[in-house]
Structure 1
Protein backbone atom coordinates (compact mmCIF):
# COMPACT_ATOMS: atom_id res chain seq x y z
CA UNK A 1 0.00 0.00 0.00
CA UNK A 2 2.86 2.41 0.79
CA UNK A 3 4.09 2.48 -2.81
CA UNK A 4 0.70 3.31 -4.27
CA UNK A 5 0.27 6.90 -5.35
CA UNK A 6 -2.54 8.91 -3.82
CA UNK A 7 -4.95 10.63 -6.18
CA UNK A 8 -5.76 14.25 -5.43
CA UNK A 9 -8.21 16.26 -7.54
CA UNK A 10 -8.14 20.07 -7.54
CA UNK A 11 -10.64 22.21 -9.43
CA UNK A 12 -10.80 25.91 -10.33
CA UNK A 13 -13.56 27.86 -12.02
CA UNK A 14 -13.96 29.53 -15.40
CA UNK A 15 -14.43 33.33 -15.67
CA UNK A 16 -17.77 34.84 -14.56
CA UNK A 17 -19.38 38.25 -14.23
CA UNK A 18 -16.79 41.02 -14.25
CA UNK A 19 -13.99 38.52 -13.56
CA UNK A 20 -12.62 37.98 -17.07
CA UNK A 21 -9.70 36.06 -15.55
CA UNK A 22 -10.57 33.69 -12.72
CA UNK A 23 -7.73 33.68 -10.19
CA UNK A 24 -8.84 30.27 -8.91
CA UNK A 25 -8.00 28.52 -12.20
CA UNK A 26 -4.74 30.48 -12.57
CA UNK A 27 -3.74 29.38 -9.05
CA UNK A 28 -4.68 25.74 -9.77
CA UNK A 29 -2.58 25.76 -12.95
CA UNK A 30 0.38 27.11 -10.94
CA UNK A 31 -0.17 24.34 -8.38
CA UNK A 32 -0.13 21.76 -11.20
CA UNK A 33 3.34 23.01 -12.24
CA UNK A 34 4.60 22.69 -8.65
CA UNK A 35 2.98 19.32 -7.91
CA UNK A 36 2.38 17.74 -4.51
CA UNK A 37 5.37 15.39 -4.34
CA UNK A 38 6.27 12.08 -5.95
CA UNK A 39 3.66 10.06 -4.06
CA UNK A 40 0.68 12.12 -5.26
CA UNK A 41 -1.00 12.03 -8.67
CA UNK A 42 -2.49 15.51 -9.05
CA UNK A 43 -5.45 15.92 -11.40
CA UNK A 44 -6.78 19.43 -12.16
CA UNK A 45 -9.97 20.56 -13.85
CA UNK A 46 -11.60 23.87 -14.77
CA UNK A 47 -15.27 23.79 -13.77
CA UNK A 48 -17.95 25.84 -15.54
CA UNK A 49 -19.82 28.41 -13.45
CA UNK A 50 -23.04 26.45 -14.03
CA UNK A 51 -25.11 24.63 -11.41
CA UNK A 52 -26.09 21.76 -13.71
CA UNK A 53 -22.51 21.24 -14.91
CA UNK A 54 -21.36 20.99 -11.28
CA UNK A 55 -24.03 18.37 -10.54
CA UNK A 56 -22.80 16.37 -13.53
CA UNK A 57 -19.03 16.80 -13.11
CA UNK A 58 -18.41 16.38 -9.36
CA UNK A 59 -19.77 12.80 -9.10
CA UNK A 60 -17.68 11.74 -12.12
CA UNK A 61 -14.49 13.02 -10.45
CA UNK A 62 -15.12 10.78 -7.43
CA UNK A 63 -15.95 7.77 -9.59
CA UNK A 64 -13.06 8.19 -12.01
CA UNK A 65 -10.17 8.99 -9.66
CA UNK A 66 -11.32 7.59 -6.30
CA UNK A 67 -9.31 10.42 -4.76
CA UNK A 68 -7.98 10.62 -1.25
CA UNK A 69 -8.91 14.29 -1.29
CA UNK A 70 -10.77 16.71 -3.56
CA UNK A 71 -10.08 20.42 -3.17
CA UNK A 72 -12.15 23.05 -4.96
CA UNK A 73 -10.67 26.52 -5.42
CA UNK A 74 -12.85 29.54 -6.11
CA UNK A 75 -12.52 33.29 -6.50
CA UNK A 76 -13.96 35.75 -4.01
CA UNK A 77 -13.91 39.34 -5.17
CA UNK A 78 -14.15 40.44 -1.52
CA UNK A 79 -11.28 38.27 -0.22
CA UNK A 80 -7.86 39.69 0.60
CA UNK A 81 -6.55 36.43 2.10
CA UNK A 82 -6.51 32.80 1.02
CA UNK A 83 -9.62 31.56 2.83
CA UNK A 84 -10.28 27.99 4.02
CA UNK A 85 -13.99 27.21 4.04
CA UNK A 86 -15.14 24.95 6.89
CA UNK A 87 -18.52 23.88 5.51
CA UNK A 88 -20.93 23.85 2.60
CA UNK A 89 -24.60 24.89 2.70
CA UNK A 90 -27.58 23.18 1.07
CA UNK A 91 -30.04 26.06 0.70
CA UNK A 92 -30.16 29.68 -0.42
CA UNK A 93 -28.98 29.48 -4.05
CA UNK A 94 -30.74 32.37 -5.77
CA UNK A 95 -27.93 33.81 -7.92
CA UNK A 96 -28.11 33.03 -11.65
CA UNK A 97 -25.16 31.14 -13.14
CA UNK A 98 -23.34 31.79 -16.45
CA UNK A 99 -26.31 30.19 -18.29
CA UNK A 100 -28.87 32.32 -16.44
CA UNK A 101 -30.01 29.23 -14.50
CA UNK A 102 -30.94 28.88 -10.83
CA UNK A 103 -31.65 25.53 -9.11
CA UNK A 104 -35.22 24.48 -8.32
CA UNK A 105 -35.97 25.10 -4.66
CA UNK A 106 -32.68 27.05 -4.44
CA UNK A 107 -30.96 23.98 -2.96
CA UNK A 108 -28.21 21.44 -3.77
CA UNK A 109 -29.57 18.11 -2.55
CA UNK A 110 -33.27 17.61 -1.81
CA UNK A 111 -33.57 16.48 1.80
CA UNK A 112 -29.84 16.84 2.45
CA UNK A 113 -28.49 18.24 5.72
CA UNK A 114 -28.61 22.02 6.06
CA UNK A 115 -24.82 22.19 6.39
CA UNK A 116 -21.94 19.69 5.98
CA UNK A 117 -18.54 20.21 7.61
CA UNK A 118 -15.26 19.09 6.09
CA UNK A 119 -13.47 16.33 8.02
CA UNK A 120 -10.33 18.48 7.76
CA UNK A 121 -9.69 20.79 10.71
CA UNK A 122 -9.33 24.10 8.86
CA UNK A 123 -8.33 25.98 12.03
CA UNK A 124 -5.37 23.63 12.43
CA UNK A 125 -4.36 24.09 8.77
CA UNK A 126 -4.63 27.86 9.16
CA UNK A 127 -2.42 27.88 12.28
CA UNK A 128 0.20 25.75 10.53
CA UNK A 129 0.26 28.11 7.56
CA UNK A 130 0.60 31.15 9.85
CA UNK A 131 3.62 29.52 11.51
CA UNK A 132 5.19 28.37 8.24
CA UNK A 133 6.46 31.72 6.97
CA UNK A 134 4.51 31.17 3.74
CA UNK A 135 4.23 34.91 3.05
CA UNK A 136 0.54 34.58 2.13
CA UNK A 137 -2.17 35.37 4.69
CA UNK A 138 -4.57 32.48 5.35
CA UNK A 139 -7.90 32.75 7.16
CA UNK A 140 -10.92 30.53 7.94
CA UNK A 141 -14.58 31.06 7.03
CA UNK A 142 -17.93 29.36 7.64
CA UNK A 143 -19.76 30.95 4.70
CA UNK A 144 -18.69 30.06 1.15
CA UNK A 145 -21.19 32.54 -0.30
CA UNK A 146 -24.31 30.67 -1.58
CA UNK A 147 -23.19 30.77 -5.20
CA UNK A 148 -21.34 28.24 -7.36
CA UNK A 149 -18.48 27.93 -4.87
CA UNK A 150 -20.72 26.95 -1.96
CA UNK A 151 -22.89 24.81 -4.27
CA UNK A 152 -19.83 22.89 -5.52
CA UNK A 153 -18.46 22.45 -2.01
CA UNK A 154 -21.71 21.11 -0.59
CA UNK A 155 -22.17 18.73 -3.53
CA UNK A 156 -18.63 17.41 -3.05
CA UNK A 157 -18.93 17.12 0.75
CA UNK A 158 -22.21 15.25 0.36
CA UNK A 159 -20.67 12.73 -2.06
CA UNK A 160 -17.39 12.31 -0.16
CA UNK A 161 -18.75 12.15 3.41
CA UNK A 162 -16.69 15.25 4.21
CA UNK A 163 -13.41 14.38 2.44
CA UNK A 164 -13.40 17.63 0.49
CA UNK A 165 -12.03 21.10 1.01
CA UNK A 166 -12.78 24.51 -0.44
CA UNK A 167 -10.32 27.39 -0.71
CA UNK A 168 -11.25 30.91 -1.75
CA UNK A 169 -8.54 33.07 -3.32
CA UNK A 170 -8.58 36.84 -3.91
CA UNK A 171 -8.40 38.35 -7.41
CA UNK A 172 -4.95 38.37 -9.00
CA UNK A 173 -2.73 41.18 -7.77
CA UNK A 174 -5.03 41.93 -4.80
CA UNK A 175 -2.51 41.37 -3.32
CA UNK A 176 -1.03 38.06 -4.57
CA UNK A 177 0.27 36.87 -7.92
CA UNK A 178 -0.78 33.59 -9.50
CA UNK A 179 2.59 32.10 -8.54
CA UNK A 180 2.14 33.11 -4.90
CA UNK A 181 -1.36 31.64 -4.83
CA UNK A 182 -0.05 28.42 -6.40
CA UNK A 183 2.65 28.11 -3.73
CA UNK A 184 0.07 28.75 -1.02
CA UNK A 185 -2.20 26.02 -2.43
CA UNK A 186 0.74 23.60 -2.51
CA UNK A 187 1.57 24.21 1.17
CA UNK A 188 -2.08 24.05 2.26
CA UNK A 189 -2.81 20.83 0.37
CA UNK A 190 0.31 19.14 1.70
CA UNK A 191 -0.84 20.00 5.23
CA UNK A 192 -4.35 18.68 4.50
CA UNK A 193 -2.91 15.40 3.20
CA UNK A 194 -0.74 15.11 6.34
CA UNK A 195 -3.82 15.60 8.54
CA UNK A 196 -5.74 12.91 6.62
CA UNK A 197 -2.78 10.50 6.78
CA UNK A 198 -2.41 11.00 10.55
CA UNK A 199 -6.16 10.42 11.05
CA UNK A 200 -6.00 7.20 9.03
CA UNK A 201 -3.00 5.96 11.00
CA UNK A 202 -4.89 6.54 14.24
CA UNK A 203 -7.89 4.57 12.92
CA UNK A 204 -5.61 1.67 11.87
CA UNK A 205 -3.93 1.67 15.27
CA UNK A 206 -7.32 1.57 17.02
CA UNK A 207 -8.42 -1.33 14.81
CA UNK A 208 -5.24 -3.26 15.66
CA UNK A 209 -5.74 -2.58 19.38
Structure 2
Protein backbone atom coordinates (compact mmCIF):
# COMPACT_ATOMS: atom_id res chain seq x y z
CA UNK A 1 0.00 0.00 0.00
CA UNK A 2 1.34 3.42 -0.95
CA UNK A 3 -0.30 6.39 0.76
CA UNK A 4 0.28 9.97 -0.38
CA UNK A 5 -0.66 12.99 1.72
CA UNK A 6 -0.23 16.74 1.41
CA UNK A 7 1.76 18.58 4.07
CA UNK A 8 1.12 22.30 4.11
CA UNK A 9 4.57 22.95 5.61
CA UNK A 10 6.65 20.60 3.45
CA UNK A 11 9.23 21.94 1.02
CA UNK A 12 10.41 18.45 0.08
CA UNK A 13 8.84 15.19 -1.00
CA UNK A 14 9.16 13.24 2.24
CA UNK A 15 9.35 9.47 2.47
CA UNK A 16 8.01 8.39 5.86
CA UNK A 17 9.84 5.43 7.40
CA UNK A 18 7.53 4.73 10.35
CA UNK A 19 4.16 5.44 11.91
CA UNK A 20 3.57 6.27 15.57
CA UNK A 21 0.79 4.84 17.72
CA UNK A 22 0.40 7.49 20.44
CA UNK A 23 0.11 11.25 20.72
CA UNK A 24 -3.04 11.94 18.69
CA UNK A 25 -4.47 14.99 20.46
CA UNK A 26 -5.27 17.39 17.58
CA UNK A 27 -8.85 17.42 16.33
CA UNK A 28 -9.37 16.54 12.67
CA UNK A 29 -11.59 18.52 10.27
CA UNK A 30 -14.67 16.77 11.66
CA UNK A 31 -13.54 17.87 15.16
CA UNK A 32 -12.80 14.26 16.17
CA UNK A 33 -9.86 12.75 17.99
CA UNK A 34 -9.36 9.22 19.39
CA UNK A 35 -10.36 9.22 23.05
CA UNK A 36 -7.34 7.12 23.94
CA UNK A 37 -5.05 9.43 21.88
CA UNK A 38 -3.65 6.36 20.16
CA UNK A 39 -4.25 4.53 16.92
CA UNK A 40 -4.35 0.91 18.11
CA UNK A 41 -4.78 0.34 21.84
CA UNK A 42 -2.07 -2.03 23.00
CA UNK A 43 -0.20 -1.76 19.68
CA UNK A 44 3.55 -1.14 19.44
CA UNK A 45 4.63 2.49 19.93
CA UNK A 46 6.18 2.65 16.45
CA UNK A 47 5.90 0.51 13.33
CA UNK A 48 8.44 0.63 10.50
CA UNK A 49 7.80 0.02 6.84
CA UNK A 50 9.54 -2.98 5.33
CA UNK A 51 10.57 -0.65 2.49
CA UNK A 52 13.94 1.02 3.07
CA UNK A 53 13.06 4.66 2.43
CA UNK A 54 16.68 5.82 2.41
CA UNK A 55 17.41 3.41 -0.44
CA UNK A 56 14.32 4.65 -2.29
CA UNK A 57 15.42 8.26 -1.79
CA UNK A 58 18.93 7.52 -3.08
CA UNK A 59 17.61 5.66 -6.13
CA UNK A 60 15.26 8.50 -7.06
CA UNK A 61 17.88 11.19 -6.40
CA UNK A 62 20.14 9.44 -8.90
CA UNK A 63 17.53 10.25 -11.58
CA UNK A 64 18.48 13.94 -11.31
CA UNK A 65 15.04 15.40 -10.60
CA UNK A 66 14.95 19.07 -9.65
CA UNK A 67 13.23 18.56 -6.32
CA UNK A 68 14.16 17.86 -2.73
CA UNK A 69 13.68 14.37 -1.32
CA UNK A 70 13.83 13.62 2.39
CA UNK A 71 13.32 10.67 4.72
CA UNK A 72 11.42 11.15 7.98
CA UNK A 73 10.54 9.04 10.99
CA UNK A 74 7.69 11.28 12.14
CA UNK A 75 4.62 11.68 9.93
CA UNK A 76 3.06 14.21 12.30
CA UNK A 77 0.50 12.69 14.69
CA UNK A 78 -2.43 13.75 12.56
CA UNK A 79 -4.53 11.99 9.92
CA UNK A 80 -1.53 11.00 7.76
CA UNK A 81 0.39 9.40 10.63
CA UNK A 82 -2.77 7.73 11.94
CA UNK A 83 -3.56 6.28 8.51
CA UNK A 84 0.05 5.15 8.03
CA UNK A 85 0.32 3.46 11.42
CA UNK A 86 -2.98 1.65 10.97
CA UNK A 87 -1.97 0.50 7.49
CA UNK A 88 1.41 -0.71 8.77
CA UNK A 89 -0.34 -2.51 11.62
CA UNK A 90 -2.82 -4.31 9.37
CA UNK A 91 -0.27 -5.14 6.65
CA UNK A 92 2.58 -6.20 8.96
CA UNK A 93 4.85 -3.46 7.63
CA UNK A 94 3.89 -3.72 3.96
CA UNK A 95 2.85 -0.08 3.58
CA UNK A 96 4.48 3.24 2.73
CA UNK A 97 3.62 6.92 3.07
CA UNK A 98 4.86 9.86 1.03
CA UNK A 99 4.22 13.46 2.06
CA UNK A 100 4.18 16.02 -0.75
CA UNK A 101 4.01 19.82 -0.61
CA UNK A 102 0.88 21.57 -1.91
CA UNK A 103 0.77 21.90 -5.72
CA UNK A 104 2.99 24.66 -7.11
CA UNK A 105 4.46 25.28 -3.64
CA UNK A 106 7.10 24.78 -4.97
CA UNK A 107 6.60 21.84 -7.39
CA UNK A 108 4.22 21.47 -10.33
CA UNK A 109 1.72 18.63 -10.57
CA UNK A 110 3.73 17.25 -13.48
CA UNK A 111 6.98 17.15 -11.49
CA UNK A 112 5.29 15.68 -8.41
CA UNK A 113 3.58 13.05 -10.55
CA UNK A 114 6.86 12.10 -12.18
CA UNK A 115 8.61 11.94 -8.81
CA UNK A 116 5.86 9.73 -7.35
CA UNK A 117 6.12 7.40 -10.35
CA UNK A 118 9.88 7.04 -9.78
CA UNK A 119 9.35 6.54 -6.05
CA UNK A 120 6.82 3.73 -6.58
CA UNK A 121 9.08 2.11 -9.20
CA UNK A 122 12.01 2.19 -6.74
CA UNK A 123 9.81 0.62 -4.05
CA UNK A 124 8.69 -2.13 -6.43
CA UNK A 125 12.29 -2.84 -7.51
CA UNK A 126 13.28 -3.13 -3.87
CA UNK A 127 10.46 -5.60 -3.22
CA UNK A 128 11.38 -7.58 -6.35
CA UNK A 129 14.97 -7.87 -5.09
CA UNK A 130 13.76 -9.10 -1.69
CA UNK A 131 11.50 -11.72 -3.29
CA UNK A 132 14.31 -12.94 -5.60
CA UNK A 133 16.69 -13.33 -2.67
CA UNK A 134 14.11 -15.51 -0.89
CA UNK A 135 13.84 -17.99 -3.77
* Larger CA deviation: 89-98 vs 144-153: 89-98
Which of the two has greater helix per residue?
1
Q: In the alignment, which residue of structure 2 is the partner of 1:31?
A: none
For residues 89 and 135 of structure 1, the distance between their equivalents in structure 2, rounded to whole angstroms, comes to 30
Q: Which has the higher contact order (CA 8 A, sep 6+)?
A: 2
**CA offsets, 1:15-38, max 9 Å, x none?**
xxxxxxxxxxxxxxxxxxxxxxxx
Give the gaps of 5 or more residues in structure 1: 1-69, 205-209
User: Residues 1-209 of structure 1: matches in 2 within 5 Å?
Assistant: 70-204=1-135
Give the TM-score of the pair, scaled to structure 1: 0.63
Report how many aligned residue pairs link the two structures.
135
**CA offsets, 1:3-57, max 9 Å, x none?**
xxxxxxxxxxxxxxxxxxxxxxxxxxxxxxxxxxxxxxxxxxxxxxxxxxxxxxx
For residues 16 and 105 of structure 2, the distance between their equivalents in structure 1, rounded to whole angstroms, comes to 19
Secondary structure of the 1:182 match is helix
Give the TM-score of the pair, scaled to structure 2: 0.97
The structure with the largest alpha-carbon Rg is 1
